[in-house]
Every structure is written in C-alpha cells, then in structure tokens.
Amino acid sequence: MSAVRYEVTGGVAWLTIDRPEARNALSKEVRDGLFDGVHRFNADAEAKVLVLTGAGEKAFCAGGDLKEMSQTALQVPPPDFLPQFGRNVDVAKPTIAAVNGVAYAGGFLLAQQCDLVVAADHARFAISEVKVGRGAPWAAPLSWLVPPRIALELLLTGDPLDAHRAHEVGLVNHVVPAAELREHAQRLGERIAGNAPLSVLAGKRTAYLSATHPREEAYARAEEIWDPVYRSADAQEGPAAFAAKRTPVWQGR
C-alpha cells in the first residue's frame, strides 16, 4: 500500500499520509508521495481544494524520519526535500491542513504552508528542531502568520502549542472535536469549491501580496490580478443568478 493516499469527494481532494505506525513521519516514500499527490491535485480539474491530513488519531505528521536521517547521515536537506507550497511547488488552488494530532517539525512545516488550518482539539504544534539539533529555515514566513514573539517562542523553546492556543495566536482557523475533523474540513472545502473559481484563485493570490510587496505595490498587483476576473463570464453570471434567484453556474472563464 502507498504511504500517501489521494481521493476526491465533492470537489475536495484529500491527500493523506498513511503511516500511522510511525506517527506519519516523513520517510522518502512519504515525501515522494506528497510531491506526486500535489502534482496530481494541480492537474486534477475535478479537485478545487486540497485537504492535507494524516492517518490515525495520534499524529498529523511528527516530522522527519529520524531513523532514516541517521542511516543516511542527512546534513542539509535539499530544497526539494519535501513539498513547500509556494516555495518549491506552486499550488494555485486553496489548501487546508486537517491536523488530527501532533504536527511537529516537518509536520509543522506542512501545516504552516497550507492556506487554512482546521485542528482536532487534541492537536499540538511544535517546531521541535532545537530539541534534536536540526534546523527550520522553512519557518521564515512564520512571523507573517503569527505575532513575532509567538514565532520566537516556538523557534527558541521547541515547546508545543495546543490546538486552542494555536487558534488564539492565529495559526489555526478552527478547532473541532476529533470525531468531527474530517466532516468539518470537507464542509469548509466544499464551501470554497462552490464559489466562483476565478475569484477564489485571485483571492488566494491577493492574500499573500502583503508578505512580499510594499503597500502601494500590493495594491497595483491586486488590480492586475483581479482585472481578468472582473472581465470574465463568471462576473456576469453571479449577478444574473442573484437577480434570477438561482444557483450560479460557474464556467471558470
């Protein structure tokens, strides 16, 4: 059986790390499976939203496979060591992390890189690299996602945040009982998938502009991003459907 599973339900693609006996640690098979799954999602016209999760109830992903790292004497991980959305693999469509347990080290990375995070109430988040002498260069965007002092605490102590604290500081969007995690993430994905696709794609790009552009440049880039959306057939379909009191039929053009 593959260490990573891909399935699509209601326009929502689920990419599941299926290695619960090893707390879904990032072995080479898992890393390769994640890359394959992300590329499959990018090419899948049926899939509008990606949900990344882990199998079992204990771990979303506990990070790198330390046994494998020891055997290979891994020093500096290469840039393509595992998928980093927006860094080494472009993912234009929205992504959600459904965190079903611990998200430590590389697991924290995977959750951080998703656009939205839904967490089970027993989930925990940690940048645990300082505990084992490893590094976390991927955490560079963290102080854009959470207050800088929270980012510093995570990086310097390696101590975990529970799901509720992660929600308080803005790392997590929703905290739900573990038994409701999949249903909640599916419903969230379906709400996004039901919106005008061009507007969704442009909305995601707009949200990240302030991370890389000064204010005036961000406004200018946003105007460029949204211009083809305004001019699309879907931009006429939305108001027409509202006036006719019917559900819009999006064409994505």
List pLDDT tens digits, range 230-250.
999 999 999 999 999 999 999
Residue 171 in tokens:
């790392």
pLDDT confidence of residue 72: 66
One DSSP character per residue, 62-122 reads --B-HHHHHHHT--SPPTTSS--BTTTB---S-EEEEE-SEEETHHHHHHHHSSEEEEETT
The angle formed by the CA atoms of residues 116, 64 and 72, to the nearest 5 degrees, is: 150
pLDDT at 70 over 70: no
At residue 81 the predicted structure's pLDDT band, cuts being 50, 70 and 90, is: confident
- Computed over every residue of the chain, the mean pLDDT equals 93
pLDDT-above-90 percentage for the chain: 87
pLDDT at 227 over 90: yes
Q: What does the alpha-carbon distance between residue 111 and residue 63 come to, in Å, rounded to a whole number?
A: 11
pLDDT at 68 over 70: no
Q: What does the alpha-carbon distance between residue 122 and residue 99 come to, in Å, rounded to a whole number?
A: 9
Q: What does the alpha-carbon distance between residue 22 and residue 29 come to, in Å, rounded to a whole number?
A: 13
Indicate the domain borders of the chain: 4-193, 197-244
Nearest CA-CA partner of 124 in 160, 164, 156 = 160
Please say whether the structural domain 4-193 has been given the CATH code 3.40.50.300. no
